[in-house]
Amino acid sequence: MKILIVEDEPEIAQLIQQTLTREGFSCSVASTGLEALEIFEQQQPDLIILDLMLPGLDGLEVCTRIRQKPTSKDPYILMLTARGEEIDRVIGLSTGADDYLVKPFSPRELAARVRALLRRSLRQVEQPSQVYRTPHFIVDLDRHIASRRGAESEEEPLDLTTLEFNLLATFISYPGRVWSRTQLIDKLWGNDFFGDDRVVDTHIRRLRKKIEPDPANPTFIKTVVGLGYKFEDEK
């Protein structure tokens, strides 16, 4: 798997590259935000290790631009920050990062975080192979296909990442059930999860943008204040 390291401090970039190369990953290094975007377009990495504080274009802006790009591969993003304040972590996750790591960090922890993130793409929803149908959606677990039903029952394929597909499949297989962040993390990530449970909110927002007529006023994935989220699809 390909990893893009975006770090402007040469010693840290070299340490990360050596650590991950020993783990068997193919690594590229960028020292600026603009260089990172160019390499991303060319190589389509599976995971990006992104420093928050970069010269010129900072890590938050790089993360935002990558998430806005219509690409065939939606990489995992592990954000590095030299600051430990909660607000930095929240902002990073809200822009689309999947996890964060505060400097200084140990190479062993970094490698564990990377392996955990990449294993998420291999994790499937633990449901029997079957097709779920609601008035507006069809989710085929066996073929890993999700579609939206149009006005005349025409099916429109949904362009979902693996995690978004598994999230929708989890909701649609338990209609009306309220899921807390912790329950969704246990269901979709299991013991592979590291980091802040707010990452769930980020993926919920991204899924809503793809399936909701008005993501700001969701019809299907609803927030249950103080508890979590639930899925409803009624005529």
Cβ atoms within 10 Å of 55's Cβ, excluding its own = 10
Residue 185 neighbours by CB distance under 10 Å: 17
Measured CA to CA, the distance from residue 187 to residue 182 in angstroms comes to: 9
List of domains in the chain: 2-120 (3.40.50.2300), 131-231 (1.10.10.10)
Does residue 24 come out as left (phi exceeding 0), alpha (psi in the -120 to 50 range) or beta? left
Whose tokens are 């020292």? That residue is 31
| pLDDT tens figures, 36-52 | 999 999 988 999 999 98
Distance CA 162, CA 88 (A): 27
% of residues, the chain, pLDDT over 90? 31
Q: Which two tokens stand for residue 128?
A: 């029997």
3-state secondary structure of 197: coil
Note the pLDDT tens digit of each residue in 153-190: 678 888 888 888 889 999 988 888 888 888 888 887 76
Q: pLDDT, tens digit, for every residue of 78-115?
A: 989 876 655 566 666 677 788 888 888 899 899 988 98
Q: Distance of CA 35 to CAs 4, 41, 59, 66, 160, Å?
A: 11, 10, 12, 13, 27
Kindly tell me the sign of the dihedral angle through the C-alpha atoms of 85, 86, 91, 93. Answer: positive
